[in-house]
Amino acid sequence: MTTPKRRIPKVAGTRTRPTTTPAEETPQRPSPTPRPGPLKPSPVPEGTQDARQAGKQRVLTRLPLVLSLLALLFTAFAAWSFVEWRSLAFAGNGNQALVSTAESSKVIGQVTTALEKTLSYDYSKPDANAQAVKDYLIGDAVKQHEESFKSVKAGAQDKKRVVTATVRAIGIKQLRGDHAELLVFVDQQLVEGDAQPILGPAQATIGATQVDGNWKISGINSK
């Protein structure tokens, strides 16, 4: 006698999934990691480059203006200091500068020429400075000039050195007989070859002595 097969009843709303063994599952390969490409520099915006170039041009344009303003400020300050000091220096008695205008003008004119000649130097005309020393300096001033100009003359030919002195302000402190004492402000401009000029301001007290009717520098006390 044959035993009948039993049927499993289906329940509505369910699905039977086919069963699979582990051997039947397909293994998944890991996705390859992307390799980084070469780094590229970020481009600089055109506006930034233009701004940097404009900044450099502004600096180069303003530099000569700043130097000119500094020179003007120094000249103004020197003139103001001189006027203030002169009002006090002329208060004493016996100073011929107060009463002898003609002689005062003569002293100032000749001492100004002497300073600008002796404090200037041209590498191509070294004898001109030597002759100026003989013509305008006497006594201690000769040795003082020699000491101060050692560095100017050293290497002057190789560097094509030129020094130009200009008296910016000058006044007489004392004038008695053949002796005078003056306060001066001098600018010395140094140029070497094609280099930019360098301005060196200086203040000095000058002793002057009249020899055979001409005023010559007998002492230089620079500050």
- 29 located within any domain: no
Q: How many domains does the chain have?
A: 1
pLDDT single digits (tens) 134-147: 999 999 999 999 99
- Locate 154 and state its tokens: 């050293």
Residues 133/145, Cβ–Cβ less than 8 Å: yes
User: Global pTM?
Assistant: 0.60
pLDDT single digits (tens) 67-116: 454 455 555 555 555 555 555 455 555 666 656 788 999 999 999 999 99
Q: Residue 94: left if φ>0, alpha if ψ -120 to 50, beta else—which one?
A: left
Range of the domain at 171: 52-222
- 21 located within any domain: no
- 218 located within any domain: yes
Task: Using only the alpha carbons of the chain, give its radius of gyration.
Answer: 46
- 120 located within any domain: yes
- 47 located within any domain: no
Within 13 Å and on the Cβ side, how many CA atoms surround 114?
Answer: 30
CATH number at residue 185: 3.10.450.230
Q: Tell me what pLDDT residue 71 has.
A: 52
Q: Tell me what pLDDT residue 136 has.
A: 98
CA distance 170 to 206: 10
Q: Tell me what pLDDT residue 29 has.
A: 59
